[in-house]
Amino acid sequence: MITHLRAAGVSLILDTRGTKVPVILHWGTDLGDLAESALATLARTLPPAVGPSSIDVPLQLSLLPGLSEGWSGRPAIGAFRTGSASVGSAATGTLQLDLTLVGFVSTDTSISLELADASSAVRVITVIELSVEGVLRVKHELFNDGDAELQLAALDTLLPVPDRAHEILDFTGLWTHERRPQRTTLNQGIWNRESRHGRPGHDDAYLMVAGTLGFGFRSGEVWATHLAWSGDKRLWAEASALGITVLGAGELLAPGEVTIAPSASYTTPWTIAVYSATGLDGLSDRLHPWIRSWSTIPSARPVILNTWEAVYFDQGINELSGLVDAAAEVGVERFVLDDGWFSGRTDDRRALGDWFVDSAKWPEGLHPLIKRVNDAGMEFGLWVEPEMVNPESELAVAHPDWMLGRSSEPTWRFQRVLDLGNPDAFDYVLGRLDALLAEYPIAYLKWDHNRDLLAGSTHHQTSALYKLVDAVRAKHPRVEIESCASGGARIDLGILERVDRVWTSDTNDPLERQQIQRYTGILVPPEYLGSHLGAATSHTTWRTSELAFRLATALFGSAGIEWDVTRASADERAIISEWTGHYRANRDLLHSGVVVRADDADPAVMTHGVVAQDGSRAIFSYASLAAPRAAIPTLLRFPGLDPERLYRVRALTVGASPRSIQDAPPAWLAEGAEEVVLSGAVLLLVGVPVPLLAPENAALFELTATDITAP
């Protein structure tokens, strides 16, 4: 039969007739309610003519293509069987699989296929799901039915895209400069991105997007893949000379890293695939509600203060009492004690792994600090880095066999990696975290990961990490967890299933954050993205920024503060208090609405906003990142509004006003001007004048439908 999955404007058509590996006939825009006869006609019509100097049957890309069916591109499966010259009916050596379909089950939203090659003693079960939001998920499980080990080189997902999708967007980056977009034209061959960091890394490809020429945030057809995995991975696009274009994704396996014992199996991470007919924002329109459907986030995102850039390692009740009081004064709801609290931790070169409260800094433990935090009306959070160890630690000295890699390998940030695949090491870390969470009323763990893995099995370490996080959550289900990896080096949908927040980047510089948050937010909803107000001079770039720019940038995310606010002036603290009040009043909108981004004509400008699901309200940011292209800015247009409704537009000030380089604002923003009420269509297609902002400033605007009564 031919199976047609449909949801939210997306169709997936799979030809499961016969015994060959099924073929995806179409993945993309919804083709409507096709009768069985129409599906059969489509399947009969689509096979191409036999090409010159090629196999003698039409080549169609199956779910698991390889040489045996004439596919000379990157194969989906690579495996090698070890052992004697023959093992039962399964020969040794590199497997040339000839899989056949032996069974399948389909529903309105999913397909499960069983494929087998008896001569190689291999079976594969493939699961395909299409969510109600139009998000496609694919995973494979490979079974070793022979009586000798099977070494797996690759088990990937390949999805066909039309040849009009020949412009590629993916991402690269550095520490504090993550998610830098890069574009290329897909010519014949492979555009391949691999991560070998033991985590996705600061230069993670993140998404592999193929689209029509010139696609933007609000226009063009795009197809995208993401691998929900926190270890080594690869994403690629390939245009074959045979005339087939694919997007591919899979775990990147080192030689011999995954060996499948007889009667055992290996399961891939989920490949997440998304189609949009309306540009990159259309990807978010599917991904954000889908992620929210399974999100672990239990409640509204509180305002956080993290102590790192305020005090660094200088900790103690005397050092932090004033900061606790100042945090409460400005409206902080969760106070997080960062690195430096555990035994012997005076700098980043020692004591990591010794997860006991430092009796010198905290002679009564953390109880006095937590009591002061709680008495001030705030929750308490704690920083940990359970996967890493300093060589100068009691743990490393006592258990050198718990470290991954050779002792001679270079350290990274003075750290080595704890082998979580070692049961004793795993139990030790779990025991220490459990003891801390049992002794203290800790509401939140900031879980850090500050180095790449240079040795050992990334697959087993990542699997053990997931097991550890799951075990902590099972023991302490009310404790929230933030995933940090020297900032944004581990942001993926594998870790997101297990945490309530991610630290988007180690930089709080608002100029860097504007772009980092914009592109990270294509995949991840804003309520997950930690976004903090830093000091005037950035800890990472040494750039000095206006308070208004820092406030406007940090508003759009899971907002917090990373600044010694005891050093802020009374006026600054009053402004911050007003800002946290605006955040609390609007976070329901900011964390549940539709994220929209404009395709601004001036590259110095960046416009984005959040529109309520019912179209009743919206908050927009208009940021000037560099010198403007013209002395009179182009009109500001607001995407995503209901075109038929009328909206009242007003400037929104969250404590401090942006700096303009004009003598006077546009007339509609002048004091005493008549309020502006325009339709959503006019606000999108025409827009309104905006001030000529100085570089590194942002103006905020609030739009409210006129049929909504203010509370």
Dist CA 603 CA 216 (whole Å): 13
In angstroms, the Cα distances linking 118 to 20, 115, 122, 498 are 14, 10, 7, 38
Q: Which residue has the tokens 């003598």?
A: 663
Dist CA 549 CA 572 (whole Å): 14
User: Would residue 353 be called left, alpha or beta, if left means φ above 0 and alpha means ψ between -120 and 50 degrees?
Assistant: left
Pairing of strands 697-705, 388-389: unpaired
Dist CA 281 CA 523 (whole Å): 10
3-state secondary structure of 588: helix
Dist CA 573 CA 579 (whole Å): 10
Residues 6+ apart with CB under 8 A from 481: 444, 445, 447, 469, 472, 473, 498, 499, 500, 501
Dist CA 554 CA 558 (whole Å): 8
Question: How many Å from the N-terminal Cα to the C-terminal Cα in the chain?
Answer: 56
Dist CA 519 CA 675 (whole Å): 34
Dist CA 491 CA 457 (whole Å): 20
Dist CA 598 CA 638 (whole Å): 8
Among the listed residues 162, 209, 221, 213, the one whose alpha carbon sits nearest the alpha carbon of residue 181: 209
Q: Given the residues 448, 452, 492, 500, select the one marked as catalytic.
A: 448
Active site residue 147: no
Active site residue 506: yes
Among the listed residues 604, 551, 541, the one whose alpha carbon sits nearest the alpha carbon of residue 176: 541
The dihedrals phi and psi of 256, each to the nearest 5 degrees, come to 75, 5
Among the listed residues 222, 221, 236, the one whose alpha carbon sits nearest the alpha carbon of residue 271: 236
Q: Given the residues 506, 509, 600, 642, select the one marked as catalytic.
A: 506
Q: Which residue has the tokens 């050198």?
A: 400
Pairing of strands 304-306, 558-562: parallel
Q: Which residues are catalytic?
A: 448, 506
